[in-house]
């Protein structure tokens, strides 16, 4: 299991809440600014593999960036969508938190607790 990677944006309320929760619970993580250190194509593919709802889970469909698109995502090839997301990370919901095996998108304390408990169980067994 990898160290937690936290893709965030400082002015995002959900990102600030999640970061506060992680710090309050003494959880170590590598933070990456979503717009400056955009996930690579390989990272985005892995994130999509970890979703339960595919693109619907990661796309910020209520964002102005998404509404301003003049393409139909549903008609695009996956490769093209991945390239679009690396060029336009504002299309991604945030925050994104992953350990390479589990994924949490958005501020969801129950999901965070589940992700963290798995990591803590592993540490205790070592």
Alpha-carbon distances of 122 from 24, 46, 117, 119, rounded to whole Å: 20, 22, 8, 5
The partner residues of 97 in beta bridges, in order of sequence, read: 6, 104
Confidence at residue 120, expressed as pLDDT on a 0 to 100 scale: 55
104 phi/psi in degrees, rounded to 5: -130, 125
What is the count of structural domains for the chain? 1
pLDDT of residue 41 exceeding 50, the answer is yes
Q: Name the residue range of residue 28's domain.
A: 4-125
Which of 1, 8, 12, 92 is flagged as catalytic?
12
Average pLDDT rounded to a whole number, residues 86-92: 92
Is 12 an annotated catalytic residue? yes
- What pLDDT does residue 118 have? 59
Q: Which pLDDT does position 62 carry in this prediction?
A: 81
Say what the pLDDT of residue 119 is.
54
Give, in degrees to the nearest 5, the angle at Cα 15 between 76 and 122. 95
1 band by pLDDT with thresholds 50, 70 and 90: very low
């Amino acid at each position: 299991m990898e160290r937690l990677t936290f893709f965030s944006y400082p002015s995002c309320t959900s990102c600030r809440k999640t970061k506060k929760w992680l710090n309050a619970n003494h959880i170590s993580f590598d933070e990456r600014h979503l717009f400056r250190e955009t996930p690579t194509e390989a990272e985005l593919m892995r994130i999509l593999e970890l979703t339960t709802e595919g693109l619907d889970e990661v796309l910020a469909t209520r964002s102005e960036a998404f509404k301003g698109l003049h393409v139909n995502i549903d008609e695009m090839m996956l490769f093209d969508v991945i390239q679009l997301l690396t060029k336009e990370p504002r299309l991604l919901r945030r925050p994104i938190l992953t350990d390479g095996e589990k994924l949490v998108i958005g501020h969801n304390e129950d999901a965070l607790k589940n992700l963290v408990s798995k990591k803590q169980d592993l540490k205790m067994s070592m």
